[in-house]
Each structure stands twice: as structure tokens, then as C-alpha cells.
Amino acid sequence: MIVPAILATMAAAGEPVILCTQCHSDVRVQAERSIHSIEEVPCVSCHGGDRQGNSVATAHRGDFRGKIPRREVPALCASCHSDAERMSHYNLSTDQYALYQTSAHGRALAGGDDRVAVCTDCHGVHEILSSADARSGTFPVNVPETCARCHSDADLIRDYDLPGDPYADFLAGQHGVAFAERKDASAPVCTRCHGAHGAAPPGVGDVDRVCGQCHSTIRAYFLESPHRSAMEQKGWAECSSCHGYHLIAKTNVEMLDRNCLACHGRSSREVKLGEQLKTIYTNASDDLEAARALVDSAKQIPLYVEDYEARLQEGRTSLLESLTAMHSVDLAAVEPLTERARSIGKEVQSDVRGKLEGRKWRRVGLGIFWFYLLVTVAILVRFRRRAMRSVGRE
């Protein structure tokens, strides 16, 4: 008796009347949190039917669709999200569906495999949150876990030609360290390399492009190297052949000669070049390290070393730059940088050593000081003796 009265009042007031959640109360809490609820997208936009229907019979009628089959989800979402006019108010792009259809997910779905990710797997079903919402699965920080829900699920992934546990690999690699340990907001997550809606693994010939988006200087050097064309001919992935993918290992100086052996013969010209690169790098690094140790010991005294610290920073920058230049495998590109680092190291060493040596003159000064001091004492002792003698005479 009361409900129709309330409904009549609400209708009179022009309020939209939604009765779906009277029965579907389990969905209500989730739906009310979603961005769709905030933007007043009613249940019937997806599920059809009559939202003012007061019973199953009156509500589930007309274009009522009930539970949406997975394979229909992308097209259904796209019915609004690909509508440029409707989306313009939300400043949302409308190319997601088009991108999705090009993605590995989209192509497999079109091929009849409905176990691949559809919109709702990442964005949620009823509780769809904005990507700017920190609770959302598509919030950048949550992306690796969202992807891992399927891609690190061994049962699900078994039937596909995919790497086993990319999430664990990612966390163990340098990108994962930056992401999870250093909490570096600029660290790349899955979508940075694979794309979001158009998710696909970059193939040979594209890997360096993908990595080069961030590592642009390294890519520039790499493009100049003979490796670029040779690897493409052989069908080897560019960056990841040495550095790995997902598990991107921390680089170390050993890679400079050891990695060459993977393709080149032990006594080949290329391996010799690798050894040479390693040597000039190690020499420069050792010189900078020795300079730093000297600066540290001088700082303990303390001597004024702030200028040298700045200079060492310059040297370290050159050394780091030389590692970047190593990707050209061109001695002429690398050597000026390592030489610069090395000369800075040598220069700081000799300057600080000079300052430390200068302190040794203090000892010499002390010797001279004691000489004059003892002369003074001798004179005083003589005076005292004379005084004693005069006392004796008195």
C-alpha cells in the first residue's frame, strides 16, 4: 500500500524510479559505487527491461536481456563507449572497441574463445570504477595485479602459447623493482609496453621501438649498430635478447664481453671488441672509485672536498653515458665518454692526494717548531744555571 504511494510521489517529483534493486539487492551495493551509478546510467541500459516494473513479469519485459554472455560484452559496452557524441561530455576516447578488436584478446574472442579478457574482466561488472580511482583494477598501480589474475593463472594459461608467470618475472626484474620496491610512479607497468585495450606482445622489429619510448638514447645508439639489421634478419628480438623481457635483469659489466659469446665465436673480432669495451669501462670505473675513496678520507679530516664531489658526479654521469653508448658497439662512440670519466677520476685523485700530501708538511713544520722550542729551552736552562751560580756567590 505504501510503496505505490511513494512511487507516485517520486514520479510526481520527476525523480527517476529504479525498482531493479528491490529484488537484486545483492547487486545494489556494488552498482551504487560504480561510476555508472554516479553518472546515472541505469541497469536497463545494459540489461534492458522496464526499470519501473514492480514485479518480475512487469520488469523483465520488452528488450530485457538478463545476464550478458561474455562474447557480447565488448560490443555492448561499445554501444555507448564508441559513441563519440555521448562520450564527449566525459572527455573519454571512443577507440577502445576498435583497439580491442586488434588485440590478442579481441582476435581470440572473435575466433570463438570466450575465456579471453573482455571489458568486465579488468573494469569490473557492476562495480565499475573510474581508472583514476585508486581502488580500480585499471588504476596504473593496480594494473600488474589485474593482468596477473589471468596471466599468472597456470590453469588458464596452459592452453595458450604464453609465458608462465609474467607477474613474478616482472616483479623480479628491474621494472618490477622500481615499481614495487622503490614505489616509482614512473615505472612501467604491463600496459606501458603491451598497450591497454589493444594489448599485444611487441614482435621482432618492434621491440626496440617499444623499449625506445623510454630508453630513447639507448635506442638511438642501437639503431646505429650492426646488431639492428643482423638481428632482424635472424628474427631475434632486439633488446630482450640480451636484457630479457618481463624479468629484465639488472645490467652488469660482465655482460659487456660474456653476452657477445652467445652469438660470436670466442676468438672473433666481435668478442675482442666486447672485451675492449669492458676494459675501458672497468678502468674508468676503478679510477672514479679510487677518487671517491680519497675524497671520502679527505672529508673525514675534514678537507674542503665539495668541488671534487661535484666533479666526481660529472665523471659518474659520463661513465653511465658510456654504458648507453655501448649499444652502438662502436669504440669511437664509447671511448670519449670513458676517457672523460677516467680523466676526471685521475684529476680528482691527484688533486686530493696533493692536498693530503700537503698535510705531511705539518710534520716537517712540527720538526722545525721543536728545533726552535728546544733552542729556547736551552737558553732558558742556561739563564737558570747562571742564576743558580749567582745565588751560590751570594
Partner 1 sequence: MKDEPKRTSVTRWIEERFNLTEMFSFLTNFGIFPFELDTSLPLREAIAGALRRPMPSYARWPRVLGLLSVLLFAFLVITGLMLALYYQPTPARAYESVTVIVRDISFGWFLHQIHGWAADAFLLILLVRGWRFYFQGLYKPPREALWIIAIVTFLAATHVDLTGRLLGWDEQGYWNAVRAVDMLYSLPLLGPLFAFVVGGHVVDSLVLLRFYFLHVAILPMLLTVLFFLHFSGVRRVGLSQLPEESPSGPAVYRMYLYNVLILTVLIFGVLVTLATIVPAAFEKVADPFSTPAGARAPWYLLGSHGFLETFPVVVPRWVRGLALEAILAFCILLPFIDRSPGRTMRERRRANVLGLLVLVVWLLFTWIGYRMEVGA
Which residues form the interface with partner 1 (CB under 8 A)? 300-304, 362-363, 365-366, 369-370, 373, 376-377, 380-381, 383-384, 387-388, 391
Backbone angles phi, psi at 296, to 5 degrees: -65, -45
Q: Please, which residue, 141 or 303, has the CB nearer to partner 1?
A: 303
Place of cell 600496459: 191
Q: Smallest gap, in angstroms, from Cβ of residue 183 to partner 1?
A: 23
Q: Smallest gap, in angstroms, from Cβ of residue 89 to partner 1?
A: 53
Q: Please, which residue, 13 or 391, has the CB nearer to partner 1?
A: 391
Q: Please, which residue, 158 or 393, has the CB nearer to partner 1?
A: 393
Q: Smallest gap, in angstroms, from Cβ of residue 377 to partner 1?
A: 6
Q: Please, which residue, 90 or 370, has the CB nearer to partner 1?
A: 370
Nearest alpha-carbon partner for 170 in 197, 186, 151, 154: 151
Q: Positive or negative, the Cα torsion across 133, 138, 143, 148?
A: positive
Q: Smallest gap, in angstroms, from Cβ of residue 358 to partner 1?
A: 13
Q: Please, which residue, 10 or 387, has the CB nearer to partner 1?
A: 387
Q: Which three cell numbers stand for residue 2?
A: 505504501
Q: Please, which residue, 28 or 355, has the CB nearer to partner 1?
A: 355
How far is the C-alpha of 75 from the C-alpha of 285, rounded, in Å? 58
Q: Which three cell numbers stand for residue 126?
A: 557492476
Q: Smallest gap, in angstroms, from Cβ of residue 305 to partner 1?
A: 9
Could you give the count of Cα atoms lying within 13 Å of 266 in the half-sphere of its Cβ?
0
Residues 42/48/51/52 CA torsion (nearest 10 deg): 150
Q: Smallest gap, in angstroms, from Cβ of residue 365 to partner 1?
A: 8
Place of cell 676517457: 339
Q: Which three cell numbers stand for residue 130?
A: 573510474
**Secondary structure of residue 268 in the 3-state scheme:** coil
Nearest alpha-carbon partner for 146 in 136, 154, 134: 136
Q: Smallest gap, in angstroms, from Cβ of residue 366 to partner 1?
A: 5
Q: Smallest gap, in angstroms, from Cβ of residue 354 to partner 1?
A: 16
Q: Please, which residue, 4 or 354, has the CB nearer to partner 1?
A: 354
Q: Is residue 294 within 8 Å of residue 352, measured between CB atoms?
A: yes
* Contacts by residues 19-24 (CB-CB < 8 Å, ≥ 24 positions apart): 19/51, 19/52, 19/53, 19/54, 19/59, 20/44, 20/47, 20/49, 20/51, 20/59, 23/56, 23/59
Q: Please, which residue, 261 or 366, has the CB nearer to partner 1?
A: 366
Place of cell 608462465: 164
Judging by beta carbons within 10 Å of its beta carbon (0-12, 13-18, 19+), is residue 104 exposed, middle or buried?
middle
